[in-house]
Amino acid sequence: MAVKVWSPGDVLTAADLNKFGEGMWNSYSGTCDSAAQLIVTHGAGFTPSVVLVTPSSPASTNFAYPIVIAKGATTFTIQYVDTTGTVRSTAVTGYFLCLP
């Protein structure tokens, strides 16, 4: 099998995702609690060893980025922290990939 070499600016496509085999790819949305945390139900059917999260909103001056802080059999928890280290409680959307 050929190995894809990723370069800056490359886009992950549906065909690329199929190469992950048993992984689970989906979207999430919700409003973070006062600690800027959001619990996401992943539906993967396993406890992932890795969860990759890509935010699609919000956009702000100090861009808030999700960090996976817990993983379980049915959910994972993310926390939004901006570039100043401040947690951000806000409505968020994005995509995730759970890998076994």
pLDDT digits (tens, 9 = 90+) for 60-87: 556 778 899 999 999 999 998 877 877 7
pLDDT digits (tens, 9 = 90+) for 27-65: 999 998 988 899 999 988 888 888 999 888 765 556 778
Cα atoms in the Cβ-side hemisphere of radius 13 Å centred on 23: 18
- Closest by Cα among 23, 16, 14 to 2: 16
pLDDT of residue 14: 60
The tokens describing 57, both together, are 């909103």
- Give the CATH number of domain 22-99; options: 2.60.40.420, 2.60.40.2080, 2.40.420.20, 3.40.50.300: 2.60.40.2080
- Closest by Cα among 89, 98, 99, 83 to 30: 89
97 strand-pairing partners: 25, 52
Question: Does this model's pTM top 0.85?
Answer: no
Which residue did the predictor score with more confidence, 33 or 14? 33
Place of tokens 């139900």: 41
Q: Where are the domains positioned within the chain? A: 22-99
- Closest by Cα among 24, 11, 29 to 50: 24
